[in-house]
Structure 1
Amino acid sequence: MARRLRPVELDFAASAPVRLVFTARLSAGPDAVYRALADEVSSTPVWFTSVAAARPLLGGAGREVRLRGGVFFRETIMATVPGERYAYRIDETNAPGVTAMLEDWRLAAAGSGTVVRWTMASEGPTLFRLTMRAARPGVGQSFRGAMRNLDRLLTTAPAR
């Protein structure tokens, strides 16, 4: 059953009760990484294997993402800075326990590549917070795999 979450602003990425933060270095440049995250939303399942489907909504102002296993998110895009930042707030989900959530992708040039920092910021009751903290290793593994896949895709694909 879908539920509306508490709306949060960008500062929630730094103040949320649960913050899972992961980084990876990619060979691809920040502009290519940004395009994959923000402009080519429907292609996300190609490189982020925990995502079953993704599509832009409202002319790109929102997204709908479905994970393998049936969890879905309807999101509002909160920040778009090409080559630097892409952030979105989850407005509606069927995930249990969560009361607010925001994901923030930060990109920084590193030589000819990119350092990607992904923050998953969330809040919910005690059981939710404990579950999210316990899930950190699995979420991190999923992120690292996605970044390897994305880097491979971007560095072997013809230039766009």
Structure 2
Amino acid sequence: MAHRLNPVGLDFVASAPVRLVFTREVSAPPEAVYAALADDVTGWPQWFAAVTLCRPTGGGTGREVRLKGGTRFQESILAADGPERYVYRVDRTNAPGLRALVEEWRLSPTAGGTGPGTRVQWTFAMDGAAVLRVALKLGRAGLGRAFRDAVTTLDERLASRAG
């Protein structure tokens, strides 16, 4: 059964008890990466392997997300500041022990590259039961690998569309 999480705001990204930050550079320009994140919400399963469904709700003010294994999220978009930042908060989930979760995607042009590349930074900010906080810290490497694989696949997808 889904339960409601704490309705935290943008400041939670910096103040969360658990903050995992991952960064990767890609060759696609920030505008293309942002469009894939914020505008092509239904395309997420094509590049983020853990995502089986992602669709906008509330006229674009929210999202419904389903992950492999059955985890479900109802989310609210907290910031859509293209092409620099996309932030959403989980409002309801069936994941046990979770009290608050915000994910922030920050995009910035890469410096010194041969093209218009992007530095993608993903912050996973959460609060939950002690056992969940410990498990997430221990699972950091796996979450980082999922992020790297997803962003790499997204970059390949964007390159094939541009070419």
Aligned to 1:91: 91
Give the TM-score of the pair, scaled to structure 1.
0.97
Aligned to 1:121: 125
Instruction: For structure 1, list consecutive stretches of 5 or more residues without a partner in the other structure.
Output: none
**Partner Cα distance (1:131, 1:19) in 2:** 13
**Alignment coverage as a number of residue pairs:** 159
1:152 and 2:156 are equivalent in the alignment:
yes
1:13 and 2:17 are equivalent in the alignment:
no
From 144, 153, 161, give the equivalent of 1:140: 144
**Partner Cα distance (1:95, 1:21) in 2:** 21
Aligned to 1:60: 60
**Partner Cα distance (2:37, 2:48) in 1:** 10
Q: What is the CA deviation profile of residues 69-96 of structure 1, one whole-angstrom value per residue up to 9, with x for unaligned ones?
A: 0001000000011110000010000011
Identical-residue share of aligned pairs (%): 53
Which runs of 4 or more aligned residues in structure 1 lie more than 6 Å from their structure 2 counterparts after TM superposition? none
**Partner Cα distance (1:2, 1:74) in 2:** 9
Give the TM-score of the pair, scaled to structure 2.
0.95
Aligned-pair CA distance for 1:158:
3.3
**Partner Cα distance (2:68, 2:52) in 1:** 5
**Partner Cα distance (1:34, 1:4) in 2:** 28
Amino acid at match of 1:140: G
Question: How much is the aligned-residue C-alpha RMSD, in angstroms?
Answer: 0.9
Instruction: For structure 2, list consecutive stretches of 5 or more residues without a partner in the other structure.
Output: none
**Partner Cα distance (2:65, 2:20) in 1:** 19
